[in-house]
Structure 1
Amino acid sequence: MCSRSFLEKTIPAVKWMRGYNKKNIIHDVIAGLTVGLTAIPQGIAYAVVAGLQPQYGLYAAFMGPFTYVLLGSCKDITIGPTAILALMTQTFVTSHGPDFAVLLAFLSGCIIFLLGLFRMGFLVDFISMPVTVGFTSAAAITIASSQLKGLFGFGGSSNDFIGACVNLVKHLHETRLWDSVLGMSTIVVLLLTKNLKDVYKGRNMSELSLWQRVLSQTLWMICVARNAIVVVLGALVAYILDSRGHTPFKLTGKITEGLPPFALPPFSSSNGTNYTFIDMVQEMGTSVAVVPLISILESVAIAKSFSKGKAVDATQEMIALGVGNILGSFVRSMPVTGSFTRTAVNNASGVCTQLGGAFTGLLILVALGFLTGTFYYIPKASLAGLIMCAMIFMVEYEMVPLLWKTKKLDLIPFFATFFGCLFIGLEYGILLGVGVNLVFILYESARPSVHRKELTINGNSVLLVRPENGLVFPAAEYIRDIIVRSCPQDDQLDFTIVVDGTHVFTVDATMAKNMQLLTVDLELRKQPVIFWNWRRTTEGTCCGLDPDMARYFRYGSTLHDLFKAGHVKVRCCLHSSNLPLDLELGNRSPNQNKTTLIRFLPLVITPSENDIGEETLPRFYLHQLLPFPSIMDVGTIIERSADLGSSVTPLLRSLSPRVDKKGRMDSEQDVFINEQASQRLIAEESDS
């Protein structure tokens, strides 16, 4: 049996239904019906954008909300057709018929669902903000240009921005006066009523009189339902004129009545030409991959915008969106995603739970069942004006000066995406923008920032080299070359190169090999090199390639500590209870590499039960005393057994790791001991 937490995470409705009450249902009904008044005209309009009959927009508008009630994680989100997805669907519909739109919805749903199931939403992270803005702005202009023929009443057809401009020039002389008047009037009314809801914004409702509160609510309702109002008014005018024998407007015309049939999506098509499933997928091309990514991008971005500081479960959003598209394809739906406009209306209407989407879906079903006859009289100019007005606010022109102020380089992917979408197509434009971004990322990986500075510390000439970010194979030769070229060309024995690894988070094998070659190059030039304050993981990568690299790594809080004379740095490594303790003793001045390594074999490392939790002292026996780096020469190892005695107890105690209650010890410690202590160790070993 699955746990309650798993069930609530998989089906979020289980969680919010437990606390549902009468107050919630009142708010959800109001919000759902209000969103429905927006969804109906928008659905019809976006079907027109996609080149489909108007009822397809309504088919796409009801299944998404029903699905999201159970699987959605954000109460404000409304799933349905959008302008961008409609435009990306248009190419296939105009060429091959509506079956392609339905199959695209099914395939998009499957891909989105699988991406959510395998938690691969990170793919959307490769679409940066400049690319997203360039894409949406270009899409808005393309959609608006495609509606010019409906706005002015002339003929022709176009699927892209260039085609729309050419069509405008060819057919401008066919402009119909009353269509133009109605279309422009629609835009003006929508713009004038856009901010009516803000007339009393900031005012305390309790301070308003009764008529002011009534007026405030009326203005708010007019603002929210303005799309439906202009469409209804346009249809009413057209109906009255038609009943009197006048038809000054181009009308939507007769559409299929009733609910859509529930059937499998079309896996073949015969709209003049017979297409198998494989043929249909090949015709769709890159759109099969791009449409799902755009759907995810839109929906997750909207969810984050309305999450009010709460964490957004992107995986659950993708699953809900995927299932919505899959089930929608069974009722002849075009691809759907989250709609920002309808989500904003839902939020402003005071929706309490995802159940508001159910009432939106019910209203659309009622419209399909009983009101489709009235859609005949909707003027195309009204729909075109509605769409163009919505597109005005999707063009984010203010992003250009913002990117110029913040990072001018981001203008390149922005304009690459923008002009690519306008002139070669939306799917290719966004791929171009993502490609440009990836080139930038790869370049930064291959050419990381490297800061260089010459210093004099305690009489030592030092070249400080500080690379930034991770160092991986594209940057391997570059880093090595830049360090070598930065060093003085003449032999200066007192010149030390310090490579600061504070900001280096990772290295790979190729980079480690080049670091090892760097030490060889500099040793041939008699120039010492120190890898200072590198992370243990990066040091481990280098030492795994060549254990002798360990002698080049140093740690300390400041460079002055690193070059402080008369101090010895001791490194204690206790990786497990059966490994030796290595102490490196001697003068650690980088230019006087007189280092002695003393190895102690453990006699007792695992503490007794009485010692657990205390700072215990492991006992060691001296194993060898060899000058560096001959420790690697196994043939010179001399077996010795000599008890160090109590005189070195303070030193060993300073190195002793703290043991926790489970008997585990710290893996590494770095401490400083003075030269006198090191000499005592060496002397005692010699006496033994």
Structure 2
Amino acid sequence: MTVTCKLGKDSCSPPDSRENRGFSSVPKCTGHEGDEGEAGILLESFDVEPLGPREWVTACLRRVCTVKTVQNKFPIIKWLPQYNIEKLAYDVIAGFTIGLTVIPQAIAYAAVATLELQYGLYSSFIGCFIYCVFGSVKDITIGPTAIMSLMVGTHVASFGAYYAILLCFLSGAIELLLGLLNLGFLINFISVPVTSGFTSAAAVTIALSQLKGILGLGKYVDSNDFLETMEQIFMNIKHSSLWDIILGVVCCIILLFLRKLREWDITRFLQRPRLQLILGRFIWLMSTAGNALIVLFCAALAYGISDPDHPEKIPFKLTGHVKGGLPPVRPPPFSIPGNGTEPGKDFGEMINDLGSSIIIIPFIAILESIAIAKAFSHGKPIDASQEMIALGLCNLVGSFFCSMPVTGSFSRTAVNAASGVKTPAGGLVTGALVLLALALFTQYFYYIPKATLSAVIICAVIFMFEYDELIRIWKSKKLDVLPWLGTFLSCLLVGLEYGILFGAGLNVFLLLLEVAKPRISVQKRQMGEHEYMLVRPRGDLTFPATEEVRTTISKNANQHPGVPIIVDLDRITNADFTSAKAMGAMGRDLAEQGRELVFVHVGKGTRDVLDAGMHGHFKDFHTIREWIHETRPTDPTSACKGDDSARTHSEGDTYVPRF
């Protein structure tokens, strides 16, 4: 094999030289054994290594009081100086559009959370104001979501609004703490299949829970659990209301039609640009504000056919009274006073009642918000820790305004982006519109049919079922379908909070299994007159894979007695003490049999670990040719044959399949 290198006036060290071993600063010009080709020109080289504890603390302290740190923690400082009238116009339009969307959704999501309907509106404005200052993604809107509402309803249904508000405070405190500690990287431990399976299961659970509104079974179905809800619906299907079914189905059809309408290509029917612009904007407004329009129309219909003297004659189940006015500003309840019938509860008892939701809900909120931030960042890097700080403050401050836990909303964020929002200031308009609705219009919410709100929720969540993502996962790597299915089924069968934990655990198990069962290539080769067994493991040489590598080497060593074992670590980037000790024991056993265990293509970090852990049994060479030249009698014919000879005389490969 001829190896050349062009580095201007400089030249590289010979392939066999010790300077080229491992990850040194000297350009490496050698290829794999048996490869041919010309090395490229090394322009720049650097290694990225994790900081030690002392270096990490020092780096953090240096970053605390810099201008860049202040700008990162208060993103409004970056975009406010460049704000202008044009951006204001876009933000006002987008904020008003989101306001029309969030008001009916907030009322509906409060029902999902088993809270009084005004709490949905209480949760919809504070996040808009806080995120404007601390948020780093212009498109994100913070407020109640379908998944959060379902999770809250699951844990506080039997306790009431006090628990939802306290849960909002605790969730915000945890999110803020994690963000301040720069632990945003923890979100990377949840894979896309797990997230997709969880989201799809939540969509199915929420849609099923809203069938009670479509069927008019609100007083017969009181569960958010998938199996229990299904059982209650089937047992009480005879009590369904025909008028509610008709209204709910018609609302669903209209909402889906309006959603599809935005995809209509009007240029095929209209040739005049001005008409295209006018009709295009009208269609966009109709499809974007579809939720608000359908709610207003159905409320007006119910009001028109109502009889003040006989309200029970209205054929639809109505939302009922929604408490008006702004929410009271007060600290979240850390205890509940007793009354004549029920004893009070202190903070410890309330924490015990909330149970695992204190950890699960902030975790889900972070997961949902960061996923949305990544989706709408347009390729820009996302500071996950800053997003956690912003989300934590939204919940923490929101708890003083009687808010339930909130997070980023994918559907409203998509509408916000489509509306052309330029900065997070659009949230100020949305928040102001929600406050206006609370102050002036809550009395009109009485006539909103429950079937209409259920239709709004169902049409919002059915598109959260990510069947297309499942297809892509199957085409990409079939093994990743297992975490998706495991998460999806466990969320439906045992609950969302336990389902995502099971899915994450299954994903980690498969990851460890893959590490423990690495792909290993074993070949019997000959270079000149010298035979050897060439073992090439892939991945990390760490303790989960130690037994697999040791077993493979031992098995092939027994099948070919007297043949030296050469382990090529060219594809190994990491090793640990356990694997080094096992390799040392194997080297000692082979030495007692008069055989060699040799390592080639060993990186510097891996060499240090093996040298320290193998207790004097570590032998490494840069190439196989170097091993032959230094340990075997010189054969004038083998020097010419090189790796081509090895390739000619190689025998069949044996592979250990990857699981």
TM-score range, shorter chain: 0.7 to 0.9
Report the alpha carbon displacement of residue 340 of structure 1 after superposing the two structures with TM.
0.7
Return closer, same or farther for 1:400/1:491 CA change in 2, 3 Å cut-off: closer
1 CA distance for matches of 2:66 and 2:514?
46
Amino acid at match of 2:403: S
Change (3 A) 1:490 1:237: closer
**1: distance between equivalents of 2:249 and 2:337?**
40
CA distance in 2, matches of 1:547, 1:147: 67
SS in 2 for 1:309: coil
Residue 257 and residue 532 in structure 1: after superposition, are their counterparts in 2 closer, same or farther (change >3 A)?
Answer: same
Q: What does residue 236 of structure 2 align with?
A: 171
Question: 1:508 touches 1:541 (CA, 8 Å); kept in 2?
Answer: yes
Percent same amino acid at aligned positions?
44
Alignment of 1:532-551 (within 5 A): 532-545=600-613, 548-550=616-618
Secondary structure class of the residue paired with 2:564: strand
Amino acid at match of 2:632: S
Find the aligned partners of 1:477 and 1:158 in 2 and give their Cα distance: 49
Q: Name the residue aligned to 2:263.
A: 198
Structure 2 counterpart of 1:89: 152
Number of corresponding residues: 564
547 and 149 in structure 1: CA distance in 2 versus 1, 3 angstrom threshold:
closer
Amino acid in structure 2 at the alignment position of 1:588 = T
Deviation at 1:37, TM superposition (A): 0.4
2:323 is matched with: 256
- Contact 1:65–1:78, Cα closer than 8 Å, also in 2: yes
Deviation at 1:17, TM superposition (A): 0.5
Structure 1 residue 122 corresponds to structure 2 residue 189: no
Judging changes above 3 Å, is the alpha-carbon distance between structure 1 residues 137 and 363 closer, same or farther for their aligned structure 2 residues? same
Q: Deviations over 1:7-49 (max 9, x none)?
A: 2111000110001111111111111011100010111111111
Say whether residues 1:504 and 2:572 are aligned partners.
yes
Describe the SS at the equivalent of 1:119.
coil
> Cα distance, 1:489 vs. partner?
4.8
Deviation at 1:203, TM superposition (A): 8.7
CA separation of 1:591/1:512 partners in 2, compared to 1, >3 Å: closer, same or farther?
Answer: farther
8 Å contact from structure 1 (residues 509, 545) kept in 2: yes
Q: Which residue of 1 aligns with 2:502?
A: 432
More strand by percentage:
1
Structure 1 CA distance for aligned equivalents of residues 306 and 329 of structure 2: 35
When normalised by structure 1's length, the TM-score is 0.79
SS at match of 1:310: coil
CA apart distance, 1:382: 0.3
What per-residue deviation string (whole Å, max 9, x for no partner) do you get for residues 504-527 of structure 1? 111111111111111111111222
Distance in 2, matches of 1:548 and 1:81, equals 63
Q: Which has the larger radius of gyration?
A: 1
Give ranges in structure 2 of 5+ residues lacking alignment.
Answer: 1-63, 636-659
Look up the SS of the partner of 2:158 in the other structure.
Answer: helix
8 Å Cα contact 2:75-2:134 kept in structure 1: yes
Over the aligned positions, Cα root-mean-square deviation in angstroms equals 2.1
Task: Provide the rounded CA distance (Å) in 1 between the counterparts of 2:96 and 2:458.
Answer: 24
Is the 8 Å Cα contact of residues 238 and 247 (structure 1) preserved in structure 2? yes
For the residue of structure 1 that corresponds to 2:91, the secondary structure is: helix
1:617 aligns to what?
none
- Choose from 8, 14, 26 the match for 2:77: 14
Structure 1 stretches lacking a partner, 5+ long: 566-586, 593-688
8 Å CA contact 2:585–2:614 kept in 1: the answer is: no
Structure 1 residues 545, 210: CA separation in 2 closer, same or farther (over 3 Å shift)? closer
Could you tell me whether the CA contact under 8 Å between 1:491 and 1:526 is conserved in 2? no
2:632 match = 589
State the alpha-carbon separation in 2 of the partners of residues 11 and 253 from structure 1: 42
Q: 1:118 to 1:24 in 2, by over 3 A?
A: same
Choose from 284, 287, 291 the match for 1:223: 287
Q: 1:317 aligns with which of 387, 397, 402?
A: 387
Letter aligned with residue 533 of structure 2: L
Contact 2:520/2:536 (8 A) holds in 1: yes
Quote the residue 1:184 is aligned against: 249
Q: TM-score, normalized by length of structure 2?
A: 0.82
Measured in 2, the distance between the counterparts of 1:65 and 1:423 equals 35
SS state at 2:473 partner? helix
Give the 3 Å change call, closer, same or farther, for CA 508–186 of structure 1 in structure 2: same
Distance 2:440 2:509 in 1: 55
> Separation in 1 of the partners of 2:375 and 2:560?
60
Equivalent residue for 2:114, pick from 51, 62, 65: 51
TM-superposed CA distance for 1:228, in Å, is 0.4
On the 8 A contact 1:116/1:319 being kept in 2, the answer is yes
Moved more, 320-329 or 234-243: 234-243
> Which of 459, 480, 500 matches 2:550?
480
Amino acid at match of 2:239: E
Alignment of 1:623-642 (within 5 A): none
